[in-house]
Amino acid sequence: MKYLGLVLANLRRKKTRTLLTVGSFAVALFLFGLLAAIHFAFYQGIEVAGVDRLVVINRVSIIQPLPVSYRERLLQMAGVQAVTSANWFGGVYQDERNFFPQFAVDHETYRDMFPEFVIPDQEWAAFSSDREGCVVGAALAQRYGWKLGDRIPIRGTIFPGIWEFNVRAIYRGSRPGDDEGQFWFRRDYLEERAPQWIKGLVGWYTVRVADADTAAAVARAIDDRFANSPFETKTEPERAFAASFAKQMGNIQALILIIGGVVFFTLLLVTGNTQALAVRERTTELAVLKTVGFSDHLTLLLVLAESTLVALVGGVAGILAAKLVTPGLTQALPGFTVYLPTADLLMGVALALAVGVAAGILPAVSAMRLRVVDALRRV
């Protein structure tokens, strides 16, 4: 700590340069934070997927339905503990831009299948007793200012007409990043008003297995059970299902990695050059420090401390700024939960520190190797 004053004094030497370097780190880490949050938005299903849940869809495509009768047959299979189903509704609230997912769910089983979504018993009871009731996520309710008792009109696209729902419950995620942007309503309401072609059919099943270790075997057994039937199935663990769903949007992960890599590499070059310049400018001063007894290693650490401190201050500022703006992005991007997980936040700070050290290492080594006699002779 006694050397901190010396490190800070050197950083104050060229205030504009230091501020610009700190700013470079802040901007880079802000971008990293946003990319990490967007990555989470695309892959959140994978992050929060239950290890003991399987998703059963039509083997042809997810848009092809499955018979409602499969529920009982699934429940009879060994290793299956619970089954629920849902349909994609695909309606529009007021304007096409107001996208959020709407599911017609089996209100008797859906809540138990997804305990990570917390709903007060009283509200769930109100939803269960109202055929036109709906459950909305807290973020969704906040975005549109909905509250319990509100009547929400949704224009059907797959299922024509104006569908009106009563907000009976608001759910909250129990973990950071849980999707609070969904809209659930009762499948029996859909069944009642939907066209003939969808009656008796569901979009997909979610199955809970008794033992997560047997999930793969149970998935195979389900697909074997319905093989060679008019509705063959494709069963995957929820995590794999979410991953393949995310892949349909393109390789977002690779894109983010490329952008992030380019940003950090550029930052490394810019900071490294700045630090090298800063060290070259004070060759004599470094020689004087060594003359009075500062060891080679201490000199190296002092130079490294400067670039690391700049990286830390800029990195923390940038990543915290990203953390602050992500709730606003969730509001601005309907259908996505833009969230910066703590692990990514810490990784960002670690990356900033790594770039700080990498940028400072060459100038620090040259400062360490500086020969006092040569440096003083240059004066």
Partner 1 sequence: MVRVDGVDAPETLIQVRNLDKRYQRGSEEIHVLQGLNLDVTPGEFVAFMGPSGSGKTTLLNLLGGLDVPTSGSITVAGDELTRMSAAKLTRWRARHVGFIFQMYNLLPVLTAFGNVELPLLLTKLNRAQRRRQVETALALVGLADRMDHYPRQLSGGQEQRVAIARAIVADPSFLLCDEPTGDLDRASAEEILDLLTALAKEHGKTILMVTHDPRAAARADHILHLDKGVLVETAGEGARP
* Residue in 284, 321, 341, 358 binding partner 1, rule: CB under 8 A: 284
- Tabulate helix, strand, coil % of the chain (nearest 5): 55, 15, 25
Picking from 356, 312, 347, 322, the residue whose alpha carbon sits closest to that of residue 27 is 322
In angstroms, rounded to a whole number, what is the distance separating the alpha carbons of residues 108 and 124? 10
Q: Is 316 in the site for partner 1 (CB under 8 A)?
A: no
* 206 close to 85: Cβ distance less than 8 angstroms: yes
Buried b (16+ CB within 10 A) or exposed e, 293-316: ebeeeebbbbbbbbbbbbbbbbbb
Report if residue 18 touches partner 1, rule: CB under 8 A.
no
Q: Is 277 in the site for partner 1 (CB under 8 A)?
A: no
The answer to whether 215 and 51 are in contact (CB under 8 A) is yes
| Residue with Cβ nearer partner 1 (13 or 247) | 13
Q: Which long-range contacts does 245-254 make (Cβ < 8 Å, 24+ apart)?
A: 245/45, 246/42, 246/43, 246/45, 246/46, 249/42, 252/38, 252/39, 252/42, 252/43, 253/39, 253/43
Q: Distance between CA atoms of 59 and 252, rounded to whole angstroms?
A: 25
Collapsed DSSP state (helix, strand, coil) of residue 91: coil
Q: Which is nearer to partner 1, 230 or 293 (CB)?
A: 293
Q: Does 16 bind partner 1 (CB under 8 A)?
A: no
* Distance (Å, whole) CA 270 – CA 267: 5
Position 203: which residue type?
Answer: G
Contacts of partner 1 in 25-84 (CB under 8 A): none
User: Between residues 2 and 175, which has the closer beta carbon with respect to partner 1?
Assistant: 2
Q: What is the C-alpha to C-alpha distance for residues 202 and 88, in angstroms, rounded to an integer?
A: 9
Copy the structure tokens of residue 188.
Answer: 């029996």
Contact between 9 and partner 1 by CB under 8 A: the answer reads yes
Q: Does 307 bind partner 1 (CB under 8 A)?
A: no
Residue whose CB is less far from partner 1, 129 or 295: 295
**Binding status of residue 270 toward partner 1 by CB under 8 A:** no
Q: Binding residue for partner 1 (CB under 8 A) from 28, 289, 309, 345? A: 289
Does the protein bind partner 1 through residue 293 (CB under 8 A)?
yes
Q: Is 296 in the site for partner 1 (CB under 8 A)?
A: yes
When asked if residue 288 is in the footprint of partner 1 (CB under 8 A), the reply is yes
- Position among 39, 187, 290, 323 found at the interface with partner 1 (CB under 8 A): 290
283 near partner 1 (CB under 8 A): no
Question: Rounded CA gap, 279 and 162, in Å?
Answer: 70
The DSSP H or E segment spanning 125 is helix 121-128
Regarding 281 and contact with partner 1 (CB under 8 A), the answer is no
CB of 13 to partner 1, least distance (A): 5
Q: Is 187 in the site for partner 1 (CB under 8 A)?
A: no
379 binds partner 1 (CB under 8 A): yes
Sequential DSSP letters for 166-195: EEEEEEEESSTT-----EEEEHHHHHHHS-
**From candidates 130, 291, 324, 352, binder to partner 1 by CB under 8 A:** 291
Residue with Cβ nearer partner 1 (220 or 369): 369
Residue 12 touches partner 1, criterion: CB under 8 A: yes
Q: Closest distance between partner 1 and the C-beta of residue 10, in Å?
A: 6
Instruction: Pick between residue 6 and residue 321 the one whose CB is nearest to partner 1.
Output: 6
Chain residues binding partner 1 by CB under 8 A are: 2-3, 5-6, 9-10, 12-13, 284-285, 288-296, 372-373, 376, 379
